[in-house]
Amino acid sequence: MDGNSSQSATPPDSGRWGSADRISPGVSVPTDLAPDPPRSPRPFAAVRSHLESELEAASELLCCLDFDGTLAPIVDRPDQARITPENDRALRTLSSTESVTTAIVSGRSLADVAPRVDGPSIYAGNHGLELRTNGTETVHPIARTRSELVDEACGLLETVVDPIPNCRVENKRLTGTIHLRGVPESCRAIVAARVRKVVERFGDGALEVSQGKEIIEFSPAIPWGKGNAVELIEEAYTEDAFVIYLGDDRTDESGFRAAESGFRAAESGIRATESGIVRTRNRALPNEGPTKGVGIYVGDEPDEGHPSHASVRVSSPEEVATVLEWIASCVG
């Protein structure tokens, strides 16, 4: 490998993010890649030799990682989540490799997640709505205009869920999270109903509710997620990278799809125009040529009812460290 160093990363230009002046709130844009059917991910050991030849053939690697449940075990109190020492060591090694760019792509805010992980040159927080590269931060322009709504909704929700045992509201500025860990099963439907009511009242269509592991979240109702952040990073900071995305939750599915779509194409990219953000990807290309990336799901085998778009699976954050060490040995 002889690609660009991750240390050369600079902020994306306004054309890639779009700009608040040029994009109207509520603009409808395509977000998802052509939907490949979900499948049952194969154990890492079963694909290792194939992946090894892909990595050897690649000139550059972009490795994107979720934080909670991927680099750090899930814990009862999210503020106490810590990257495992093995993942910390492996990620630092990978991040210092010349041909490798590493990026954290988390649902946590940038201010929260960045101090928890050393090594990567790129951090995407709030599910990709904010991006930090070499200390410079940029925010999705539409999300920025709706942060006041998020703030107001968080304020009311704190009062509304106050009587619910162990229920906590986290204001992440661009999105809000209601933590359910420790909330009695009998109260969860009540919390969900109250969150929807408040978000509908304050959002008036500009905010939307989603659910993750032990959390309910609300965010700007715009088609932008972790997968879009992966595409933006790949487009802005790499030349022709093989993309690996590791994650453990539903919100990581768009990251898996972005990694596995083989999206590097001559005409690919995300561009802002007078009418909004447009995708210029050549959708015919993902089915042609060699694989250009892989999604790695972290956890037990997904339920049949919720298959994953990742084609590879590892069981835990402990096994993530093994994979990261292996990747570093392949590309070093």
Closest to Mg ion by CB, 67 or 242: 67
Which among 58-66, 90-98, 159-167, 222-230 is the span making contact with Mg ion, rule CB under 5 A? 58-66
- The residue from 60, 130, 217, 248 that contacts Mg ion (CB under 5 A) is 248
Closest to Mg ion by CB, 212 or 286: 212
Are β-strands 242-247 and 293-298 bridged in parallel, bridged antiparallel, or unpaired? Answer: parallel
Please, what sign has the CA dihedral across residues 82, 84, 89, 90? negative
Kindly state whether residue 317 participates in binding Mg ion, applying the rule CB under 5 A: no
Assign 177 to helix, strand or coil. Answer: strand
Kindly state whether residue 69 participates in binding Mg ion, applying the rule CB under 5 A: yes
Kindly state whether residue 88 participates in binding Mg ion, applying the rule CB under 5 A: no
Query: Which ranges in the chain belong to alpha helices (H)?
Result: 14-17, 44-57, 85-95, 110-113, 141-145, 147-160, 185-203, 226-237, 253-260, 317-331
Cβ neighbours, 10 Å, residue 293: 26
Angle between helix 253-260 and helix 226-237 axes, rounded to 10 deg: 40
Only one residue has tokens 């993942």, namely 87
Kindly state whether residue 255 participates in binding Mg ion, applying the rule CB under 5 A: no
Least Å distance, CB 117 to Mg ion, is 13
Kindly state whether residue 68 participates in binding Mg ion, applying the rule CB under 5 A: yes
Which among 8-16, 62-70, 118-126, 134-142 is the span making contact with Mg ion, rule CB under 5 A? 62-70
Least Å distance, CB 113 to Mg ion, is 11
Kindly state whether residue 125 participates in binding Mg ion, applying the rule CB under 5 A: no
In angstroms and rounded to an integer, the radius of gyration of the C-alpha atoms of the chain is 19
Which among 11-19, 95-103, 120-128, 241-249 is the span making contact with Mg ion, rule CB under 5 A? 241-249
User: Would you call 57 exposed, middle or buried from its count of C-beta atoms within 10 A (0-12, 13-18, 19+)?
Assistant: exposed
Q: How far apart are CA 237 and CA 114, in angstroms?
A: 19
Which among 42-50, 94-102, 133-141, 240-248 is the span making contact with Mg ion, rule CB under 5 A? 240-248
Kindly state whether residue 112 participates in binding Mg ion, applying the rule CB under 5 A: no
Least Å distance, CB 316 to Mg ion, is 12
Kindly state whether residue 249 participates in binding Mg ion, applying the rule CB under 5 A: yes
Least Å distance, CB 249 to Mg ion, is 4
Which among 28-36, 109-117, 198-206, 242-250 is the span making contact with Mg ion, rule CB under 5 A? 242-250
Torsion of CA 106, 244, 228, 261, to 10 degrees: -150
Name the residue among 285, 268, 279 with its Cα closest to residue 31: 279
Least Å distance, CB 253 to Mg ion, is 11
Least Å distance, CB 149 to Mg ion, is 25
Interface with Mg ion by CB under 5 A: which residues? 66, 68-69, 248-249
